[in-house]
Amino acid sequence: MKIARMEAPALDDTVQAGLPENPASQAQRENPQTTAVNMKAEAQPVVLITGASSGIGKICAEHLHARGYRVYGTSRRAAAGATTASDSFQLIAMDVTSEDSVERAIQLILSREGRLDVVCNNAGDGVAGSVEDTSIEEARQQLDTNFFGVLRVCRAALPIMRRQGAGLIVNVSSLGGLVGLPFQGLYSASKFAVEGMTEVMRMEVRPFGVRVALIEPGDFRTGFTAQRRKALAAQQEGAYSERFSKALATMERDESGGADPVMVAHLLERIITSKSPRPRYKVGGLFQKLATGFLRKVLPQKLYEYLLMASYGIA
Ligand SMILES: NC(=O)c1ccc[n+]([C@@H]2O[C@H](COP(=O)([O-])OP(=O)(O)OC[C@H]3O[C@@H](n4cnc5c(N)ncnc54)[C@H](OP(=O)(O)O)[C@@H]3O)[C@@H](O)[C@H]2O)c1
């Protein structure tokens, strides 16, 4: 198994002093011309996956741990400053809405491993309700987790990866980041924002040896459905109530019957081991991938909107 070139990091003295060295760093220091790290030679890449207490993040963390990576997953509920050894990967505290919390978690990994090779920005949640029913505060919370959370983690990880001259950031978006989903307007907005930022970052960091990609999942069976928040106004009787209820029932049904998140774990590993990751990877049911790609391109916009609304039972 190969991972693209990871040179020995030049860390601050404060970070480097007295730390056990990761075998990956040692191998690359001894052979700086190495273009790939062979995992069989114990050069285990260090991976951070945000939101690994449940769903996609948890499965990805378990899968990569089983494949020999040194995996740190995060949860808001893990004890601050400590690593909880689960059966497999290490679970550490991180709230992506707090810059301090993000910085502390990344420094904890750096102090233990001396490097950070892969970051998967997966933590996220959803708010449902019509755009009109979603308050500015509810919208702000959605963007704070799904967009600013990704930005905070990228800003903390990039200086480390630039110093290493290597690294990979994989941002988990959604098919809802390509197509606006009815009654998930703020969720879609947060993922559209992740898409735009990721496209730009990819070009900016390439000269430093840092690669960036997007994963765009369709519907998956995870804790996402139960965790979804409903905008307060959408929970009261109002102009949108009937259509909102139908759309919400469709979302919940499609997600509950969605694909197994292990698909995403396999995809993440494929991206990590790819020499040159593509900008974006869709993952999920074939029809959903077609509907947000080919069909979106070829169908007239009005027909596309009608079909999308019909699929939510609200045409
Ligand atoms: N499931 C789907 O159908 C689907 C489809 C498209 C995209 N996605 C995306 O996939 C990603 C993972 O979602 P999932 O489906 O696996 O949902 P999930 O089972 O609810 O997992 C979400 C994870 O995010 C963490 N999280 C939530 N808010 C956080 C915050 N403020 N700070 C840090 N961690 C936070 C949660 O950890 P704690 O609560 O322990 O902190 C949890 O581990 C999300 O970005 C989601 O938008 C999911």
pLDDT tens-digit map of 191-202:
999 999 999 999
Closest alpha carbon to 245 in 315, 177, 183, 166: 183
Interatomic CA distance for residues 228 and 42, integer angstroms: 40
Confidence (pLDDT) at 39: 39
**Closest residue to atom 11 of ligand 1, CA basis:** 122
Question: Ligand 1 mean position to 158 CA, how many Å?
Answer: 22
Top mutation candidate among 222, 254, 288 for ligand 1, by most atoms within 8 Å of CB: 222
Atom of ligand 1 nearest to the CA of 144: 31
* Phi/psi-derived region of residue 209, left when phi > 0, alpha when psi is between -120 and 50, beta in every other case: left
Confidence (pLDDT) at 24: 42
**Closest residue to atom 7 of ligand 1, CA basis:** 174
What architecture (CATH level 2) is domain 23-311?
A: 3-Layer(aba) Sandwich (3.40)
Interatomic CA distance for residues 90 and 73, integer angstroms: 6
Confidence (pLDDT) at 87: 67
- The pTM assigned to this predicted structure is 0.89
Sites in the chain below the pLDDT cut of 70:
1-42, 81-87
CA separation (Å) from 117 to 31, 98, 155, 212, 256?
17, 22, 15, 12, 33
Question: Ligand 1 mean position to 55 CA, how many Å?
Answer: 7
**Closest residue to atom 27 of ligand 1, CA basis:** 124
Interatomic CA distance for residues 156 and 201, integer angstroms: 14
Confidence (pLDDT) at 119: 98
Name the helix (H) or strand (E) containing 104.
Answer: helix 99-113
- Both structure tokens of 264: 């995403």
Q: Where does the chain show beta strands of DSSP type E?
A: 2-4, 36-38, 46-49, 70-75, 83-85, 90-93, 118-121, 127-128, 167-172, 210-217, 229-230, 280-283
The CA angle 35-122-5, to the nearest 5 degrees, is 5
Question: Ligand 1 mean position to 122 CA, how many Å?
Answer: 6
Confidence (pLDDT) at 79: 82
Confidence (pLDDT) at 84: 66
Structure confidence by residue, pLDDT tens digits, 212-223: 999 999 999 999
Residues within 6 Å of ligand 1 by CB: 50-57, 75-77, 94-97, 122-125, 145, 149, 172, 174, 217, 219-220, 222-224, 227, 255, 258
Top mutation candidate among 49, 50, 53, 198 for ligand 1, by most atoms within 8 Å of CB: 53
Q: What is the DSSP letter of 214?
A: E
Confidence (pLDDT) at 295: 96
Question: Ligand 1 mean position to 8 CA, how many Å?
Answer: 32
Q: List the catalytic residues.
A: 53, 173, 187, 191
Structure confidence by residue, pLDDT tens digits, 154-166: 999 999 999 999 9
Interatomic CA distance for residues 154 and 102, integer angstroms: 10
- Both structure tokens of 248: 């919400």
Is residue 226 within 8 Å of residue 22, measured between CB atoms? no
Question: Ligand 1 mean position to 218 CA, how many Å?
Answer: 14
Is residue 284 within 8 Å of residue 217, measured between CB atoms? yes
Top mutation candidate among 59, 60, 71, 76 for ligand 1, by most atoms within 8 Å of CB: 76
